[in-house]
Structure 1
């Protein structure tokens, strides 16, 4: 197949291709007579064939001038042919290795190199994307795309009510979607980065999987950081220091939303392909996300998600959630990522969200006052938010002020207050929320 795709190609040997594989392609590493290493890829299904066609357009659009702007290599198409009704593509091989998201160390090194690589992608001119007909979305269109995924997932009746409300509130928040679209890779994951060892340590020398290249929400290229633990802060710091764009104060919140919406896309992929195994897996992950949502009410996706529900109200919502059974789906938006790694999603949603920092929210005084006029005894006290430098700091400060007790039974919900922390807030050591409203420009 390779010799039919590349003229005068002489192959001396072949072996397995180690990185960037997803199971959607049959791939092999080739050694040629002129001492070159090439990769041959044959799509294993229709979705992979479609992705490969888009990637060919993207790679051909990345001219020598565009590639010179990047601090890493991008695969080059050497040749292509056809076999058994599908396309065979031969690429040059980018030597190196990949690491799992959870294994990326914090600090200078891999994390900072990844952040700089992402910033370089986002600094590319958007004109070359539009010229070849790849998607060129506005901020409003990115928002509508997210809404479409949410609505389709909700239409399956397999989406937990608490998760649907969390996503819908985020999609409805105007401040969350005020950003400048940039060129994005579109399907970045830890496996996308090819690393090699240098004197200064491992650095990014290549990026794979360009089938989702477009102009869109830069937060899409950061959603995978949810599974990197402490390294996420290092990647983000390097990204911001290398970025030439105005800082987006709600970038992290949107990246968390996109990370969670990957579960919706996985569910829709299962429904569209009528694969009950995928549907059951997606439902299981969404059920796990419910615990994540309820355990992170102090870290909302949007700074204006409204008042927090009482525990009894949440339990009542969950009881009304449809059972996890298959529903005949509709076609349309499917899985929009180049790969799916269930272990990474489990890492994301099996722990608290560490990336959502500074979740400032406007006071809901008017709503509580109206409720008090109707029934003074029905007033519910909302959570006390502490503005910190990061989510870890926020969680720590919050735990100093509120120590929640009780259970989910009829005994109710009580809280003990640490008045020393409240006195610190009144003295000005902690900035009140009403003086730190979210901004859509610089952080």
Structure 2
């Protein structure tokens, strides 16, 4: 669930209203203090941080759109599947559901639910400040721990299972749609096609993945250990390509940081082919730009289209000299793809619509 140091922000529902909803949702909850809480979710939720009399902290959230409510429901399913036994295998904390209350709807729309969660402590990782040190090693270890979980609990919970073939089809679908716009440089299309034609690249074993991993999902400690203490945002928990959870790190400001994360990942997940993981991660990272272009086309927003075209042109220049050799581990970080993903996430309805079209699409 959401976590980090709380910050004050304006909210549609006051923190006092949210505190009252929380007390009705959780029997015996004695709230001593409440304050608005901003989690960089762009208004998707009204959120408050609550302090109980015993000193424990909780978050109460109310979604502000159907897409946000769908994401919240998906996360509740994911958190419920992460049993205490599963959680003992993870070297970090994650939240738990505490209670819910239904809000009355005065305009005939479906009622929203105020949901209360345990608060996860920690500071959000800042990708632009991620340099070699203990933190990248901890990130690699944390992601490896997720990917080492047994798949059974995800399957039992009815969460998505995405095979390697499903993932390849999804990638080809994005490429074909992007190519149809005639706005993607031919060199990039050729580069991506060479990756999809490489059968060895798609012969991997799907694992449990977070599914929405990025810097915002990671919480680290403020002490000298500087380690990952919490991971949030579990609404896309599934079985899928482990490279999905690693693509964001390629935008780190130092290549040494990327190497450190992947080396730690390999150390804590023996037998994983980090070279192939990195190649697919790079492909996914580059295709985020294609998704941004498609979003602009779908919404007929010429500003977004122009922005995407410009970024694709920069990408061509960034990988110049690597085109002929295709996606290889020597190809370094290209663009801030974490920022591109964040821009896409700011449009939750589009992301939700895309997921609903195919439960097997990553």
Which TM-score band (shorter chain)?
0.7 to 0.9
1:222 aligned partner: 246
Q: What are the within-5 Å matches in structure 2 for residues 214-363 of structure 1?
A: 214-228=238-252, 229=254, 230-273=256-299, 275-294=301-320, 296-297=322-323, 300-301=326-327, 340-341=341-342
1:87 and 2:113 matched: yes
Contact 2:191 2:323 in 1 (8 A): no
Per-residue CA distance 1:191-213 (angstroms, 9 max, x = gap)? 11111134x52111100111111
State the shift of 1:237 in Å: 0.9
> What is the CA–CA distance in structure 2 between the aligned matches of 1:15 and 1:121, rounded to whole Å?
32
1:34 aligned partner: 54
Give the one of 141, 160, 166 matched to 1:135.
160
1:152 aligned partner: 177
TM-score, normalising length: structure 1: 0.64
> What is the CA–CA distance in structure 2 between the aligned matches of 1:27 and 1:69, rounded to whole Å?
30
1:15 aligned partner: 35
- Contiguous gaps of at least 5 residues in structure 2: 1-20, 106-110, 330-337, 345-362
Give the one of 81, 86, 92 matched to 1:61.
81
SS in 2 for 1:135: coil
> What is the CA–CA distance in structure 1 between the aligned matches of 2:281 and 2:268, rounded to whole Å?
18
SS in 2 for 1:341: helix
Give the one of 213, 218, 228 matched to 1:204.
228
> What is the CA–CA distance in structure 2 between the aligned matches of 1:273 and 1:290, rounded to whole Å?
25
TM-score, normalising length: structure 2: 0.77
Equivalenced residues, count: 308
Question: Per the alignment, do residues 30 and 289 of structure 1 end up closer, same or farther by CA in structure 2, a change over 3 Å counting?
Answer: same
State the shift of 1:34 in Å: 3.3
- Contiguous gaps of at least 5 residues in structure 1: 304-336, 344-443
> What is the CA–CA distance in structure 2 between the aligned matches of 1:32 and 1:269, rounded to whole Å?
43
Per-residue CA distance 1:129-165 (angstroms, 9 max, x = gap)? 1111111122111111211222233334443333222
1:186 and 2:211 matched: yes
Contact 2:292 2:340 in 1 (8 A): no
Could you say which structure has the larger radius of gyration?
Answer: 1
RMSD: 2.7
State the shift of 1:98 in Å: 1.4
SS in 1 for 2:236: coil
> What is the CA–CA distance in structure 2 between the aligned matches of 1:91 and 1:48, rounded to whole Å?
16
1:48 and 2:74 matched: no
1:374 aligned partner: none
Per-residue CA distance 1:51-85 (angstroms, 9 max, x = gap)? 22211111110001111110101111111233353
